Amino acid sequence: MSAAVPGWLAPLADAAASIGGDDLSRFLPPDDGSGRPSAVLISFADGPDGPSVLLIERSSDLRKHAGQVAFPGGSIDDGDASPVAAALREATEEVGLDAADVQVIAALPPIFIPVTGFVVTPVLAWCPALHDPAAVRAVSAAEVARVELVPIAELTDPSHRFLVNGPAGYLSPGFEARGLFVWGFTAGLLDRLLDIAGWAQPWDRTVRRPLPPLPGYPSPPTAAVDRD
């Protein structure tokens, strides 16, 4: 797979086949098969400012996950042939990404989000078309407030990394880049992928940041437990 992607992405592409669910999260799908199947597309590209990943900011008017930064994605529908098909469909619906421009690297093992009950399959992809940011946009302002191609260098910059005191009182990885505050599932997955790819730099885990006000999320407790 690495022969078909740029050299900077090859370490992650090469590692993809051996990634296990516990390499990505401590929360794995329930043994009883419960959970709502979903998929996200993690699209890497050579952006205007170097190697980058595509992120979206969800609309503040959504009933769930309002204002959160995420990868394009959503529930797997009955008509979707696979998690990969679902991730590509959602990316087209949310940001106008043409599936023909996407080279899928791998579907990673599904992981579980206890607070929502979703079982999420992350789909790694290489998207050469994203060298032009105009290739994507917020298709529906009711769902997506912003689309951003975020440089990997900004995510790995130690000054952009911290632990977030989340609404459940747990500390988890966070990032700030391009004016986006990345936390929760998306930040946790980025944290693991940066490590797996060998891109991560040492950062100060004593730095704590509160979760900014978001619709539908209570203020976190003052005390927190590390849940990395």
Region 12-19: mean pLDDT is: 97
| Percent of the residues in the chain that have a pLDDT greater than 90, as a whole number | 77
pLDDT digit string (tens) for 133-167? Answer: 889 999 988 889 999 999 999 999 999 999 998 77
Q: How far is CA 159 from CA 80, 208, 220, in A?
A: 40, 12, 23
Query: Average pLDDT over the chain, rounded to whole?
Result: 90
Which pLDDT score, from 0 to 100, does residue 1 have?
44
Cα separation, 83 vs 120, whole angstroms: 9
Asked whether residue 122 carries a pLDDT value surpassing 60, the answer given is yes
Q: Report residue 54 as tokens.
A: 């595509």
| Phi, psi (rounded to 5 degrees) for 57 | -110, 120
Which pLDDT score, from 0 to 100, does residue 213 have?
73
Q: Do strands 73-75 and 36-47 pair parallel, antiparallel, or not at all (unpaired)?
A: antiparallel
Tokens 């979760």 belong to: 211
Asked whether residue 211 carries a pLDDT value surpassing 90, the answer given is no
0.85 cut: is pTM over it? Answer: yes
Residue 27, number of CB atoms within 10 A of its CB: 17
Q: How far is CA 122 from CA 69, 172, 197, 218, 224, in A?
A: 15, 19, 15, 28, 28
Cα separation, 41 vs 189, whole angstroms: 12
The answer to whether residues 62 and 94 touch, using CB atoms and an 8 Å cutoff, is no
The candidate with the shortest Cα–Cα distance to 205, out of 224, 186, 189, is: 224
Asked whether residue 23 carries a pLDDT value surpassing 60, the answer given is yes
pLDDT digit string (tens) for 29-39? Answer: 999 999 999 99
| Phi, psi (rounded to 5 degrees) for 124 | -80, 140
Fold of 2-152: Nucleoside Triphosphate Pyrophosphohydrolase (3.90.79)
Which pLDDT score, from 0 to 100, does residue 223 have?
47
| DSSP type of residue 101 | G
| Percent of the residues in the chain that have a pLDDT greater than 70, as a whole number | 89
Region 123-127: mean pLDDT is: 98
pLDDT digit string (tens) for 62-87? Answer: 555 557 899 999 999 999 999 999 99
Which pLDDT score, from 0 to 100, does residue 61 have?
57
Asked whether residue 225 carries a pLDDT value surpassing 70, the answer given is no
